[in-house]
Amino acid sequence: MVSTVDLNTVAGLSEQEAIALLKHDGYNELPSARSSNLLSIAWNIVQDPIFLLLVGGGVIYWILGDLQESLILLGFVFFITGISLYQEGKTEHALEALRDLSSPRALVIRDGQRKRIAGREVVRGDILVLAEGDRVPADAIVLSCTNLSTDESLLTGESLPVRKVAAVVRGEMEMARPGGDELPFVYSGTLVVQGNLIAQVQAIGTQTEMGKIGNALQKVKPEPTPLQQEMTRLVRNLFGIALLLCVAIVVIYGLTRGDWLKGFLAGITLAMAILPNEFPVVVTIFLALGAWRISQKHVLARRASAVETLGSATVLCVDKTGTLTLNQMAVQQLCPYNAQPYDLGLHSPESLPEAVHELVEFCILASQRDPFDPMEKAFKQLGDRYLAHTEHLHNDWILLREYPLSPHLLAMSHVWQSADGKQYEIAAKGAPEAIADLCHFTPQQQKILAAQISEMANQGLRVLGVAKASLLGAPLQFLPPHPSLNPHDLPDEQHDFPFQFLGLVGLSDPVRPNVAAAIKECYTAGIRVVMITGDYPGTAQTIARQIGLMQMGAILTGAELDRMSDAELQQRIQSTNIFARAVPEQKLRLVNALKSKGEVVAMTGDGVNDAPALKSAQIGIAMGQRGTDVARESAALVLLDDDFSSIVEAVKLGRRIFDNLRKAMAYLLAIHIPIAGMSLIPVLFKLPLVLLPVHVAFLHLIIDPACSIVLEAEPAEATVMKRPPRNPKEPLFGRRTLGRAVLQGVGILVIVLVIFVVALYRRQGELDARALTFTTLILANLGLILSESSSSRLSLKILKSPNAALWWVIGGGLFFLLFVLYIPFLRHLFSFSFLHAIDLAICVGGGAISLLWFEQLKLLNRPQRVIQSKSGKPI
């Protein structure tokens, strides 16, 4: 097999072959921590404090000889275990979906077509197509490459990249160990730092060099987020208080009433009432399901902390191409040197004038034969359409050498040899300034060119320059006589060729249709949008007008940015929303400047050079389609469809997730107050016990799904994108939220305590008092769920709520309450008396008063009206 491969002639494996190999060899992945199975989830539930307390209560009732009470408590064990299994299973399903999404992607050729698949689905024999910035998904032999270097430090410890060459394959080749230059092998986990390649996979999974070393890609337990750390501290403190109270209750009950077993039951009841075991569980479930919900909007959250931070973003820094636009380039204008421009949109599409043929010809020669870049695709489509039957298409020419783009010269060149070996042409394309430099333009020529570029850029066009150099009949001093030209005899730099300027090409890239609405939504939400582009100021300004991006002050260019000190930049960045002619390395300065002004920055990027900025930004967003693996690994989020509106949707979801999490935590705190109060007060005042373990277990059947299923699934508030971003330093339990939760809980406690005391005062008996109190507590609890489901005032619109779980929990709670009140067997187990219509009316009244109390408290917590400046920033 020859050392160079034409992608047009490579068919790769068929899908049937790939499926068979995948079934035989397994997935291309290393052994990792198994996802939780049913038994491991069940074991975690067994260790839960509520589970242990229920079992303990059941055992004590058994010892007391109360078999029925014991069996119903143990029955609740199974009910709560079932709910926990459902919740854990839902969370695990979300995590598994995220694992599949986060699998590194690989571009392969199958059935002659390029196809992007999950890296774990790569099989032996697959043809890989890799470019600069990609991570190699498997050990492979290089079939063809251009200026290829890889970073193998992961395997060898050597920090310097190593050069690679294409292999001349004769039969089977054995993979050599990594390390050293000029090897035709690339290895799983290593990084392509320069060039591009086509390679054939030789080993996957545990058979790769990385697999043999066995020290990488193990699933690492994620570090706790700041929110989880806050919950850990809260739970630790509450657990200590709860334990002391429980011991005190046991001792007080035993000493004052002489019944130590019932004292233990009272202690267990209080422990079940106030132990904060749901808090960390709810945080974990919300973050896992939140990440999964965000992935449904084409945004992959690689770190849970990003879910927390999203709602507090104040600035979105975005690329233009592919994010604000469709990245579907089309050639719109051709401007031959010293000739009139030709606009394809204004002329008949049947043919091109002869004057532009050479310009199109060398655009194509300066591009890849089978292009992946959108601009090069546009050139190829133009040539296929208009030059297919002319002498200007050279599909049989041989590419001798490629000079890639470099940070010092934004131009690339291809050296071609004609099919008969007698003609040599060099085609160059790139930034017009770089092409003008290659052609040694005089200052006067540069001035004329700049005016033409500015005119095209003001039309919103992406402008490229094109040049050619011909060696036919005029061999250069560094070249041997033709036709025996050796590629190694060519110069090291493009500047050594005698380039002739051919003209300019203007490409248009349509704006995404939903971007304007998304930009407007950002401004309404108090989020500033900053555009960073490599295009000219005129192009950037045109696109900004089309999408409704507000321009604050003058546009700042990359060259002006380089001349500024950090202090000057921090001053200018407050009044600049558009940065043009910027290079990726400058993004880091922009991020740091914005952060120094107290902004919470979300930054998009796709290249290797974007990685530092993505890592520095509070929310790094990598492009999923055109982004490199390095960018994706440095980012907290991956934009799977490269669409700006998906970022805005993710911000909206981030706000919703945090809002719902706050509702759930406030609900948990509020409902535990009356439960704990009604467990503690009767003991302290020598009154009959109201709540027994069976009653608290019943309450948990409502509380657990309410906080982790109902409130998690609540849709976003109508005002979620009409208020400024939250302060990232703001705790989950702010003073206002904490105060409202406490007032809600105290309100319920006062109402049920009044009903309990009045019932005892009227000598209705212990069973009557308990039934009235417990029924009122259940109704107040359901009212609290209903009230917490909306931050705004409740209205009849709640009946149209899309959250089906809300009605299942409320309906289920009422259904089972009626069961335990009016089925004699259950009523006896719960130690209730029969409630008449007047009794139910009293309980419903107490629940209604509770709901009115919750709604009045919302007035105290009403958010302030947001006033915005012209920039979209809240004042």
Express as a percent the part of the chain with pLDDT over 90: 21
From the number of C-beta atoms within 10 Å of its C-beta (0-12, 13-18, 19+), residue 174 rates as: exposed
Asked if residue 732 has pLDDT above 80, the reply is no
Ranked by mean pLDDT, which of 317-326, 577-586, 794-803, 811-820 comes out on top? Answer: 811-820
Q: pLDDT per residue over 781-805, tens digit each?
A: 999 988 887 766 665 566 666 778 8
User: Is it the case that residue 778 has pLDDT exceeding 70?
Assistant: yes
In which band, very low, low, confident or very high, does the pLDDT at 436 lie, cut at 50, 70 and 90?
Answer: very high
Q: Please report, rounded to a whole number, the percentage of residues in the chain having pLDDT higher than 70.
A: 77
Residue whose C-alpha is closest to residue 184's, from 154, 139, 128: 139
- In terms of pLDDT, which residue wins out, 528 or 686? 528
Mean pLDDT of 850-860: 85
- Tell which residue, 645, 599, 647, has the closest CA to residue 621: 647
Mean per-residue pLDDT, 297-305: 76
pLDDT tops 80 at residue 856 = yes
Alpha carbons 788 and 748: distance in angstroms, whole number: 14
pLDDT band at residue 97 under the 50/70/90 scheme = low
Residue 442 per-residue DSSP state: -
Q: Is 778 left (phi over 0), alpha (psi -120 to 50) or beta?
A: alpha
CA distance 460 to 508: 7
Closest CA to 709 of 273, 278, 296, 98: 278
Q: How confident is the model at residue 223 (pLDDT cuts 50, 70, 90)?
A: very low
For residues 220-225, average pLDDT:
46
Exposure of 278 in the CB half-sphere (CA atoms within 13 A):
27
Could you count the other beta carbons within 10 Å of the beta carbon of residue 190? 23
Identify the H or E element spanning 689.
none
Helix (H, G, I), strand (E, B) or coil at 221: coil
Residue 416 backbone dihedrals phi, psi, to 5 degrees: -115, 145
Contacts of 431 (CB under 8 A, 6+ apart): 410, 411, 464, 465
Residue 171 confidence (pLDDT) above 70:
no
Tens-digit pLDDT profile for residues 563-581: 999 899 988 998 899 998 8
Identify the pLDDT of residue 564: 92
Contacts of 458 (CB under 8 A, 6+ apart): 538, 539, 541, 542
Does 776 have pLDDT greater than 90? yes
Q: Categorize the per-residue pLDDT at 488 as very low, low, confident or very high, splitting at 50, 70 and 90.
A: low
201 vs 79 pLDDT, higher one: 201
pLDDT band at 218 (very low <50, low <70, confident <90, very high): very low
Tokens, residue 874: 């809240």
Q: For residue 470, name the pLDDT band (cuts at 50, 70, 90).
A: confident
What stretches of 152-190 adopt beta strand conformation (E)? 162-163, 185-186
The predicted model gives 396-420 an average pLDDT of 84
Which DSSP symbol is given to 412?
A: E
- Residue 750 clears pLDDT 90, i.e. is over it: yes
> Could you read off the pLDDT of 631-686 as tens digits, one per residue?
666 777 888 887 888 888 889 988 988 888 888 888 888 988 898 888 888 878 88
The total of other beta-carbon atoms located within 10 Å of residue 620's CB is 28
b/e sequence 122-140, b meaning 16+ C-beta within 10 Å = bbbebbbbbebbbbbbbbb
Is the pLDDT at 473 greater than 50, yes or no?
no
Average pLDDT, the chain: 79
Q: Which of 274-288, 722-736, 845-859 shows the highest mean pLDDT?
A: 845-859
Q: How far, in Å, CA of 277 to CA of 210, rounded?
A: 41
Q: Is the pLDDT of residue 295 over 90?
A: no
Residue 213, pLDDT > 70, answer no
Provide the sign of the torsion angle of the four alpha carbons 658, 663, 664, 666, taken in this order. Answer: positive
Q: What is the pLDDT of residue 554?
A: 82
Instruction: Say which residues have a Cβ less than 8 Å from residue 172's Cβ, sequence separation at least 6.
Output: none
Give the pLDDT of residue 866: 40
Angle between helical axes of 735-761 and 766-788 (0-180°, round to 10): 160
Residue 549 is inside which H or E element, if any?
none
DSSP one-letter string for 769-790 = HHHHHHHHHHHHHHHHHHHHT-
pLDDT in the model for residue 39: 66
Query: What is the dihedral angle through the alpha carbons of 372, 375, 381, 385, rounded to the nearest 10 degrees?
Result: -160
The SS3 assignment for 863 reads coil
From CA 599, how far away is CA 871, in angstroms rounded?
A: 14
Q: Average pLDDT in the 136-149 region?
A: 87
**Among 488, 466, 476, 448, CA closest to 412:** 466
**For residues 406-418, average pLDDT:** 85
Q: At what angle do helices 693-705 and 644-684 cross, to 10 degrees?
A: 170
- Tell me which of 200-204, 321-325, 444-448 is least confident: 321-325
pLDDT at residue 403 above 60? Answer: yes
Among 111-125, 679-693, 816-830, 859-873, the range scoring the smallest mean pLDDT is 859-873
Query: Average pLDDT for residues 186-203, to the nearest whole number?
Result: 87
Pairing of strands 528-532, 500-508: unpaired
Give buried/exposed letters for 230-265 (b at 16+ CB in 10 A, else e). Answer: bbeebbeebbeebeebbeebbebbbeeeeeeebbbb
**What distance in Å separates the CA atoms of residue 309 and residue 651, rounded to the nearest whole number?**
9
Mean pLDDT of 732-759: 89
**The token pair that represents 18 in the structure block:** 């790939």
Mode of pairing for the β-strands spanning 619-623 and 601-605:
parallel
Q: Give 808's pLDDT tier (boundaries 50, 70, 90).
A: confident
Q: What is the pLDDT of residue 771?
A: 93
Q: Which residues pair with 621 in a beta bridge?
A: 604, 637
Query: For residues 157 and 831, which has the higher predicted lDDT (pLDDT)?
Result: 831
Q: pLDDT for 125-138, tens place per residue?
A: 999 999 887 888 89
Q: Are 161 and 100 in contact (CB under 8 A)?
A: no
Q: Between these two residues, 810 and 161, which has the higher pLDDT value?
A: 810
Element (H, E) at 276: none
- The answer to whether residue 7 scores a pLDDT higher than 60 is no
- Lowest-confidence region among 35-39, 453-457, 539-543: 35-39
Q: What's the pLDDT score for residue 551? A: 78
Tell me what pLDDT residue 216 has: 35
CB neighbours (10 Å) of residue 393? 18
